[in-house]
Amino acid sequence: MLNDLAALYSDHAVLFAGSVFVLGLVIGSFLNVVIYRLPIILEREWRLQATELLPPAAADTMLAGPDVPARFTLSVPRSACPACKAPITAWQNIPIVSWLVLRGRCAACKAPISARYPLVELATAALSAAVAWHFGFTASAACALLMTWALVALTGIDIDHQLLPDNITLPLVWAGLSAAVVLGAAGGQALPVSPRDAIVGAACGYLSLWLVFHLFRLVTGKEGMGYGDFKLLAGLGAWLGWKLLPLVILLAAATGAVGGILMIMLRGRDRAAPMPFGPYLAAAGWLAMMYGNSLVSGYLRLSGLQR
């Protein structure tokens, strides 16, 4: 049965990409939960840890966190409307469709539902389908999908909280290294890379931004980025290898500069206000994963360094 399914998907790229698109919608719905709930869960843990070092009066103040139920995980309690707390039913959780049927409003109180939820679902599905089309029915596609979903979650959390949680970045690093050992050594796979390239990539990814961070702080007396950025680039290096890291950094810096300028011009953003760098690293890493070798080869040919 599984062999027949594998043969079907291998011979029909459109069917495989379409199936992954539908899967991506479901995963995108789950990522919406992760983006919203994980920072709250982490904040609760940090507050609880802080109370161990504070006097009782200060501890009570520290524990007064977000107004959420006592038991709060990725699966408990059920999702509910933020305005009226009405539980969201199963059909109201159908990706994109339910939002369109409800016209972007709560079924109970008619409060508006952010369009970001269906956009995250659609973006996850589109990126997943692109990965399936590019890599085909291979182990590389499975690896690329896991990486894509992690990058979507990190992007959403960093935009909201300027935070790249260790709960995602560190597993991304170890998963990349593990995949390189299990699959990369076999050869013939576009992803993951060889174990040596993965290890060097993870180390260089972390150390490169670590050095930039400390040089910037030494010169300006300010912190230019967070440690989560180091770990994210280490994760990208573990999956993509050290050879694509310069491309990732270049793409992230270029898109970050353009994005910052546009936000200053269009939204009047304060130039001194901190801006999350994680989304630009994530976008650059995804582009490098998909088209990195082609981009590098094209640049070398245009520059005359390769014929």
Q: Over the stretch 125-148, which tens digit does the pLDDT of each residue have?
A: 999 999 999 999 989 999 999 999
Work out the pLDDT band at 262, boundaries 50, 70, 90: confident
Tokens encoding 268: 């009047």
CA 12 to chain centroid: 29
- Lowest average pLDDT, out of 2-6, 32-36, 184-188, 201-205, goes to 184-188
Residue 195: predicted pLDDT: 93
Token output for 43: 């904040």
Confidence of residue 49 (pLDDT cuts 50, 70, 90): confident
Give the model confidence (pLDDT) of 74-112 as tens digits.
Answer: 888 888 887 888 888 888 888 999 999 988 898 889 899
Residue 258: the pLDDT is 82
| 203 half-sphere exposure, CB direction, 13 A CA radius | 6
| Whether the bond into 77 is cis, omega within 30 of 0 | yes
Confidence of residue 169 (pLDDT cuts 50, 70, 90): very high
28 in Cβ contact with 116 (< 8 Å)? no
Q: Hey, what are 51's tokens?
A: 């109370």
Which pLDDT does position 188 carry in this prediction? Answer: 47
Model confidence band, residue 59 (pLDDT cutoffs 50, 70, 90): low
Q: What is the pTM of this model?
A: 0.90
Over residues 158-187, the mean pLDDT reads 90
| Spatial contact of 141 and 131, defined as CB atoms under 8 Å apart | yes
Q: Is 122 exposed, middle or buried (0-12, 13-18, 19+ CB in 10 A)?
A: middle
Q: Where are the alpha helices (DSSP H) in the chain?
A: 2-11, 13-51, 56-63, 97-101, 116-135, 139-161, 166-182, 195-220, 227-240, 245-267, 278-303
Would you state the pLDDT for residue 185? Answer: 60
- 267: pLDDT confidence band, cut at 50, 70 and 90? low
| b/e per residue 234-266 (b: at least 16 CB within 10 A) | bbbbbbbbbbbbebbbebbeebbeebbeeeeee
Select the more confidently predicted residue: 268 or 26: 26
On whether the CB atoms of residues 152 and 31 are closer than 8 A, the answer is yes
Flag whether pLDDT at 263 surpasses 70: yes
Ordered by start, the domain boundaries in the chain are 1-124, 138-307
